Structure 1
Amino acid sequence: MRRSLLLWPLLLMMLAAPVLADARMTVLVDVLKLREAAEILRIEGVETADELDLEMLDGQGGASWQIQVDAIYDTDRMVETVRAALERELQGDLLEEVIRFYSENPGARIVTLENTARDAIRDPAVEEAARARFAELDGSDDPRLGLIAELVASGDMVDRNVTNAMNANVQFLRGLVDGDAAEMTEEDMLSSVSGDLDEMTDDTRSWLFGYMLLAYSPLETSEIEDYLAFSRTPAGEALNRALFDGFGRSYEDISYALGRAVALNMLAEEL
């Protein structure tokens, strides 16, 4: 009896460890404002789905299409997919370092500015102005642009964004094929997506730099320097990998589901 009682503290510690880790991950999700970001991306996605309705369904998707789109852009599922990637990359001291950086300024302020800019740049006029601002500075020795260029390079952000976009596009085509709305081999899909690689890379670079110039415009130079320094730490690098992996996987799932939904509606129209 005495031996079994002595085991209780150890058992409680073993049970508490996963609970504590889960709680700290919840804190990270909160300080990164991932739910707010997911809602912005959901709005973007609904707008994209409206364009798909016009381009591929002749605007005849109707209420059924909207119901399908709402189910596909599930913010809870998006957050959980990103959270799973964060759990794979960030544990122990790395997790605590990220929480610490984003719990105080400039990290906390940066998250707010990034989400605000992402919401604003959905407006075509704002996007055009942001791209134009980057075009004016591109190739110059502007110090703020130089810091942003270092941020982009430290996270390999252009190539990672292009890769995620291409993977999502392949998944959309795969959804069409699996939904019997198109006939393409795997090679056909890859060829179709990679055919405009240079154009996609240039467009991604223009959008990304324009967005970051917009987002970080209220920051002091020293705050951007602090952000750059954090991005180069093991914790910053792990966070970058997790976010690209998590959001990339989420977009792949969404794109495939959109492809299947488009196929379903195309076939329904033919009946």
Structure 2
Amino acid sequence: MRKLLAIFLIMLTALPLWAGARHTVLMDVLQIRELSGILHEEGLQFGATLNDDWLEGQGGPAWAGQVTRIYDVDRIAEGIRAGLEPALEGEVLEAAIAFFASELGSQIITFENAARRALADPEIEAQARAKFVKQQDSNDVRLVQINRMIKAGDLINRNVTSALNSNYQFLRALVDGDVYTMSDEEILDDVLSEREAITEDTNIWLGAFLTLAYSPLSLEELTSYADFAESEAGRALNNGFFAGFDPLYEDISYALGRAMAMNMAAEEL
């Protein structure tokens, strides 16, 4: 009886272990480790901006170290995985793996990461934004496919919501750190006052990023990717990314706010 029970337990635990292995494959084909490194570098760059704007450039090694720890690569990767795992299972998981393990899927991830790195350069970002603004109201066949992806993932609205939530957490952390005295309602009103500007900026940045990233693709390849974005697996993947990114960046924003409050308090001493 004990032997049979042991075998039964092994069979039960084998299922999540197998699922975990397949999610690891998904993380690999999506090159999440590289993406996490890119997001880490973006975080350091944002931290430098906060240092200039809020600490008059006087944050020094202490602030830099705090920002580095907050944007820890492992933390980012684990946060992404936490969103992807419950969102993709069974057939949709296998469909996502199959697409991004293909030559086209692998190229797409490589192009996306390269474009994200390139946009870290202010001059390149400005050029990409200007190019998109000129194109955005045209009937360009490539933009039609890109707009299919944006619509399928509700990318504008979801990115704006994510940005607003992150800003809320940053400001709430400053209030908790006694930098400001504001009610939750006042924090929310302050954050929401920026919705229109954030929406406009998100629309242009996202368009610039996607047109730059997918410029090496043929129209046929771009159409295939739009087809995937509209599929059940594509929508599940998009949902998983936001399920991971939203709480991750809310936590990061709050941590940045608390670190900023501590640094501002130290300056006053």
| Fold equivalence (TM over 0.5) | yes
Return structure 1 stretches of 4+ with deviation > 2 angstroms: 3-12
Question: Partner of 1:130 in structure 2?
Answer: 128
Residue 8 of structure 1, CA deviation: 4.4
Question: Partner of 1:79 in structure 2?
Answer: 77
Gaps of 5+ in 2: none
- SS of alignment partner, residue 133 of structure 2: helix
1:25 aligns with 2:23: yes
Gaps of 5+ in 1: none
- SS of alignment partner, residue 179 of structure 2: coil
The answer to whether the 8 Å contact 1:131/1:210 transfers is yes
* Structure 1, 4-13 or 54-63: larger mean CA deviation: 4-13
Please show how residues 105-144 of structure 1 align to structure 2 within 5 Å.
105-144=103-142
In 2, the alpha carbon distance for the partners of 1:245 and 1:175 equals 22
Say which of 166, 180, 183 aligns to 1:182. Answer: 180
In 2, the alpha carbon distance for the partners of 1:112 and 1:245 equals 23
1:65 aligns with 2:49: no
Question: Partner of 1:247 in structure 2?
Answer: 245
Output one character per residue of 1:166-201: Cα deviation in whole Å (capped at 9) or x when no partner.
Answer: 000000001111111111111111111111211211
In 2, the alpha carbon distance for the partners of 1:252 and 1:207 equals 20
Aligned residue identity for 2:166: A
Residue 98 of structure 1, CA deviation: 0.8
TM-score by length of 2: 0.97
The answer to whether the 8 Å contact 1:106/1:226 transfers is no
- SS of alignment partner, residue 50 of structure 1: helix
Question: Partner of 1:45 in structure 2?
Answer: 43
In 2, the alpha carbon distance for the partners of 1:161 and 1:262 equals 24
- SS of alignment partner, residue 181 of structure 1: coil
* Structure 1, 11-20 or 133-142: larger mean CA deviation: 11-20
In 2, the alpha carbon distance for the partners of 1:190 and 1:87 equals 31
Aligned residue identity for 2:88: L
Residue 131 of structure 1, CA deviation: 0.8
Aligned residue identity for 1:241: N
TM-score by length of 1: 0.96
Residue 149 of structure 1, CA deviation: 1.0
Output one character per residue of 1:125-157: Cα deviation in whole Å (capped at 9) or x when no partner.
Answer: 111111111111121111001111111111110
Output one character per residue of 1:187-232: Cα deviation in whole Å (capped at 9) or x when no partner.
Answer: 1111111112112111110110011000000001111111111111
Say which of 160, 170, 173 aligns to 1:172. Answer: 170
- SS of alignment partner, residue 19 of structure 1: helix
Residue 96 of structure 1, CA deviation: 1.0
Residue 20 of structure 1, CA deviation: 1.0
In 2, the alpha carbon distance for the partners of 1:31 and 1:184 equals 45
In 2, the alpha carbon distance for the partners of 1:67 and 1:197 equals 31
Question: Partner of 2:205 in structure 1?
Answer: 207
Output one character per residue of 1:59-107: Cα deviation in whole Å (capped at 9) or x when no partner.
Answer: 1111111111111011111111111111121111111111111111321
Say which of 73, 96, 100 aligns to 2:94. Answer: 96
Output one character per residue of 1:17-57: Cα deviation in whole Å (capped at 9) or x when no partner.
Answer: 11111111111111111111111111111111111111111
Say which of 219, 233, 236 aligns to 2:234. Answer: 236
Percent identical among aligned pairs is 48
Say which of 159, 162, 185 aligns to 1:161. Answer: 159
In 1, the alpha carbon distance for the partners of 2:62 and 2:4 equals 61
In 2, the alpha carbon distance for the partners of 1:224 and 1:153 equals 15
In 1, the alpha carbon distance for the partners of 2:43 and 2:5 equals 52
In 1, the alpha carbon distance for the partners of 2:202 and 2:2 equals 61
Q: How many residues align?
A: 269
Question: Partner of 1:262 in structure 2?
Answer: 260
